[in-house]
Amino acid sequence: MSFLKRKPQPAAPAGAPAPSNSVQALAQGAVIVQRHAKEKFYSLLFLAPALIFLILTNIYPLLYSLRLSFFNWNMTIPLSKPRYVGLENYLALPNDPILVTSLERTLVFVISAVAIEFILGLGLALLVTSNAKAMGVIRTGFLAPMMMTPVVAGVLWRTIYHPQYGVTNWLFWLVGLPSQAWLGDPNQALPAVIAVEIWQQLPVATFILAAGIQSLPADLYKAAAVDGSSRWQAFRYITLPLLKPVIIVLLLLRIMDAFKIFDIVYMLTYGGPGHQTEVLSMYIYKTGLKFFQVGQAAAMSWVFLIFIFLISLYFIRQLLRE
Amino acid sequence: MLISYRIRRILASVALYALIALVLIIIVFPLYWLVVTSIKVDVDNAHFPPIFVPNRLTFDNYALVLSTENASKFWLNSIFTALATTLLTCIIGSMAAYALAKTYLAQKLRQGLILWILVIRIFPPVTTAIPYYIIIKNLGLSDTRFSLILTYVSYGLPFVIWLMLGFFQDLPADIEKAAIVDGCSMWQRFAQVVLPLALPGLTVTAIFAFIASWNEFLYASILTSYQAKTLPVVISGYMSDKYLRWGEMSALGTMMIVPVMAFSAFTQKYLVRGLTFGAVKG
């Protein structure tokens, strides 16, 4: 909605007398049209740097990677040339047992991390929004993990999980449980990584949900209280439905970010032990940039990309429907 | 009956505070642990049960980290890359956001661009890591700050555009109308009227952009080897399978998060907005 369309007058010089005849009015109209064309041109000029930049640094690399995905190229062999193999890289994907494991590990990671963050975050958000003091304390305390450099968080949690001197084993020792290998144990490594992810991202979920809850109209709760509804009923029939758009935004962002997880896994386990924590980002990284099977890695990237795109499309649709 | 009700209420609030305290301890403890590890002597770090309140303090780890070869170079790399990225994304990004916030372009075009920009942000960075690595190598730009800035700006732009779009749309239209009457060109309106008004939003956007490139690890680890190495890569280098250099890693880690913590304190007001791409206005 342009204010230019609603009020064309400002085009006339300030203090000019109102147009007395139709010729003058026509001339004024021409000025507006001219100005509008000029603004349109300027708008494109304003957009140009960002668009050109994104085309060169995003679209072009993605297309480059698409082309690469049809070639077989082992970059570790000196002077080796990419060899065209058609769809071979893609057709080989379902037969790659590590990729299947990796996909499964990624889904376990994303679903459990985001689900726990959401449930705990909702509980905490309800708690802090009911109490201003609690809100203030949480606000400052919670900033630390979410802003912390992921690589530093990885280092830090490696010391906490250390099998000999770590704090987690000290807690186990206090209550008389045997010490654990944590990141070195095939069964505990993924949950341990998920715990770090939750530690970093729980504040995000809490803050977003708390902001959503605070923006809900207080009148509704008063009316509900007058009608004798319980707290649970107010939550179930007022808070949850009204919070739905915020919940969708939160889930979209958290799921997409959880799929991107790389730094923490790199620092904590480097995908190990075995392939137990080898999430997709880690596996693609290793295939392409450690073993330099760039064609295969590019094919995986594209499948990963389309997969992520479809999931986000679902959430964006839900959001637009709201 | 009244007394028991009051007791119940007191108990409930005690339980509430206890719960919040517990959550806070779990969330904040690791940060304390990082700092305390960095000022403990090595013997105290390799100790069971862990020493939570050390009685021997040392700053040797800090001295060691800062005096390693080329430490100042890596710090400068990190600072320069983050600052340049912030500056570029904010300038290019807010210009684009302004054009998208105004209605001179066709509705369909604007909406299409806005959605496309969102989709770019959703893609996992690893999907562009491989082409970046090869293209940067072919261009002869490997191990330069320039290559990092290129990739960081590309990754940061969508975020800045979306966030600034929201801030621009929030500004009252009347102010710009007055500027039009005064005969300001679009550039003048942007630079002298709109941007100063959106300054609080721009500041927060800049802080988020700075933190993102300061923290970035994946691209830095594949595009740099020595000359342009940034701090996250340095930290990852302290780690090997055989042993952990806890003290040094924690010291560098602590120093690295100081600017982040200091800056993030300024984001409080628009924090949720920044976190949600402007979708939720907290």
CATH code for the domain in which residue B258 is found: 1.10.3720.10
pLDDT tens per residue, range A97-150: 999 999 999 999 999 999 999 999 999 998 888 877 777 778 888 888 988 999
Closest residue in B to A173 (Cα–Cα): B49
pLDDT in tens, B85-124: 999 999 999 999 999 998 788 889 998 999 889 888 888 9
CA nearest B22 in A: which residue?
A138
Residue B50 and residue B78 in one domain: no
Mean pLDDT, chain A, integer: 86
Q: What is the pLDDT of residue B282?
A: 63
B7 and B107 share one domain:
no
Q: Is the peptide bond before A273 cis (omega within 30 degrees of 0)?
A: yes
Domain ranges of chain A: 3-63, 95-321
- Which residues of chain B fall short of a pLDDT of 70? 1-3, 240-244, 282
Nearest-neighbour CA in chain A from B3: distance (Å): 22
User: Is pLDDT at A154 greater than 80 in this prediction?
Assistant: yes
d(CA A151, CA B257): 11
Same domain, B134 and B239: yes
Would you state the structure tokens that stand for residue A89, as one six-digit string? Answer: 């890289």
Same domain, residue pair B173 and B261: yes
Task: Choose one of B60, B78, B109: the last residue of a domain.
Answer: B60
Option in B34, B222, B246 nearest A289 (CB): B222
Interface test with B, best of A148, A303, A316 (most B CBs within 10 A): A148
Higher pLDDT, B111 or A28: B111
Q: How many domains does chain B have?
A: 2
**Statement to judge: residues B148 and B264 lie in one domain:** yes
Tell me the shortest Cα–Cα distance from B266 to chain A, in angstroms. Answer: 11
Q: For residue range A89-108, what is the model confidence (pLDDT) as tens digits? A: 999 999 999 999 999 999 99
In a domain, B39, yes or no: yes
Say if residue B247 is in the same domain as residue B124. yes
A202 → chain B, closest CA residue: B27
Name every residue whose Cβ is closer than 8 Å to that of residue A190 and which is 6 or more positions away in sequence.
A105, A108, A109, A276, A277
Distance between CA atoms of B136 and B151, rounded to whole angstroms? Answer: 10
The CATH-assigned architecture of domain A95-321 is Orthogonal Bundle (1.10)
Would you call B59 an interface residue with chain A, using a CB distance cutoff of 8 Å?
Answer: no
Q: DSSP assignment of B95-129, as one string?
A: HHHHHHHSSSS-HHHHHHHHHHHHHHHHS-THHHH
Residue B276 to residue A257: CA distance in whole angstroms:
12
pLDDT at A11: 42
A2, A28, A38, A47, best to mutate vs chain B, most B CBs in 10 Å = A47
Cβ atoms within 10 A of the Cβ of B148, count? 28
Domain boundary among B13, B40, B60: B60
Boundaries of domain holding B36? 2-60
pLDDT confidence tier of residue A83, bands split at 50, 70 and 90: confident
pLDDT at position A217 over 80:
yes
Residues A184, A270 contacting (CB under 8 angstroms): no
Q: What is the pLDDT of residue A111?
A: 97
Within-domain flag for B281: no
CA dihedral of A298, A304, A308, A313, whole degrees rounded to 10 = 70
Do the domain assignments include residue B282? no
| Contact present, B21 and B39 (Cβ < 8 Å) | no
pLDDT in tens, B125-156: 999 999 999 999 999 999 999 999 999 999 99
Cβ partners under 8 Å of residue B219, min gap 6: B125, B129, B132, B148, B151, B152, B155
Give yes or no for residue A241 having a pLDDT over 60.
yes
The least confident of A1-15, A49-63, A305-319 is A1-15
Please state the ipTM of this predicted complex.
Answer: 0.90
Summarize the confidence of residues A56-70 as an average pLDDT: 94
CA distance A284 to A287: 5
Judge if B244 and B106 occupy the same domain: yes
Q: Could you write out the DSSP letters of every residue in A287-307?
A: HHHTS-BHHHHHHHHHHHHHH
pLDDT of residue A110: 97
How far apart are alpha carbons A125 and A205 in whole angstroms?
A: 8
Distance of residue B126 Cα from the nearest chain A Cα, in angstroms: 6
Predicted pLDDT of residue B245: 80
